[in-house]
Amino acid sequence: MSDRYAVIGRPINHTKSPLIHGLFAEATGQTLEYGAIEGGLEDFEAQVMQFRHQGGQGMNITAPFKLRAFELADRRSERAQLARAANALRFEGNHIFAENFDGIGLLRDIEVNLGQPLRNRRVLLLGAGGAVRGALLPFLQAEPSEVVLANRDMAKALALRNELDHPLLRISRYEELQGQAFDVVVNATSASLTGQLPPLPGEVLSGARLAYELAYGKGLTPFLRLAREQGVAHLADGVGMLVEQAAEAFAWWRGVRPDTRAVIERLTIALE
């Protein structure tokens, strides 16, 4: 009987995770089963426990269950604790281990796949939701010159800064970005999902080396279109992050990290 894994979320019909992990298993010679589970808002925890009791060894967690998965676990990594969210669970004996690979997946895509190291660079993160919470610790460990977090809700941004209490992290209102320059700008807001643009002032993107849209498969979003108009040299969406965080989870479960390049190429959609 094959080892069993699954992704759980709501809705789940759009997920690429079974394809990605199937390709990883094939490439690394692993034998496993990987399925998709439509999570229930009322019985998510029961579904996870049922999968575990039926022999499941691990799960990927997607929206809207990452916070609940974190609470369900009794062993949590530092990354998961900072994000207060889990995007992967592992079942061992009586314990449920929680991890959050979103941030290191994003960092690896930026630094390795896109060739944009953050060391000594000025980084702008737009938004203060779960994706940013997951990204902050890996980003700061990459030794940038500064990470600026811009968000509409300043109370939320302030709480996050106070929680992390890192000398390289600064928070800002959008209008306070006027006249500032950044090397890397990451849009982690939900604006692009509804065809909108974060309220960026002036030419704040001009001069950036990379504009990164966390959403993937959306083509040239308003954020990326603005970046192109302002002359940003490199535009990217989140497909690389999707694959890299999956590779981290696969390695956490299976002890071998698959190569990601072929899978990223297969899933990449032209931005035009």
Check: CB of residue 100 under 8 Å from CB of residue 80.
Answer: yes
Per the annotation, does 102 bind a ligand? yes
Residue 220 tokens, joined: 């040239």
Q: For residue 218, indicate whether it is catalytic.
A: no
Three-state DSSP string of 17-46: HHHHHHHHHHHHCCCEEEEEEECCCCCHHH
Catalytic residue among 34, 44, 66, 98: 66
Per the annotation, does 156 bind a ligand? no
Per the annotation, does 15 bind a ligand? yes
In this structure, how many other beta carbons lie within 10 angstroms of the beta carbon of residue 97?
Answer: 18
Per the annotation, does 16 bind a ligand? yes
Per the annotation, does 195 bind a ligand? no
**Angle at 176 (CA atoms; ends 172, 181), nearest 5 degrees:** 90
Per the annotation, does 28 bind a ligand? no
Per the annotation, does 238 bind a ligand? yes
Per the annotation, does 40 bind a ligand? no
Per the annotation, does 74 bind a ligand? no
Per the annotation, does 216 bind a ligand? yes
Per the annotation, does 17 bind a ligand? yes
Considering only CA atoms, which of 161, 206, 216 is closest in space to residue 183? 206
Per the annotation, does 245 bind a ligand? yes
Question: From CA 194, how far away is CA 123, in angstroms rounded?
Answer: 24
Per the annotation, does 130 bind a ligand? yes
Per the annotation, does 131 bind a ligand? yes
Binding residues: 15-17, 62, 78, 87, 102, 127-131, 214, 216, 238, 245
Binding residues for NADP(+): 78, 127-131, 214, 238
- Residues with catalytic function: 66
Binding residues for shikimate: 15-17, 62, 87, 102, 216, 245
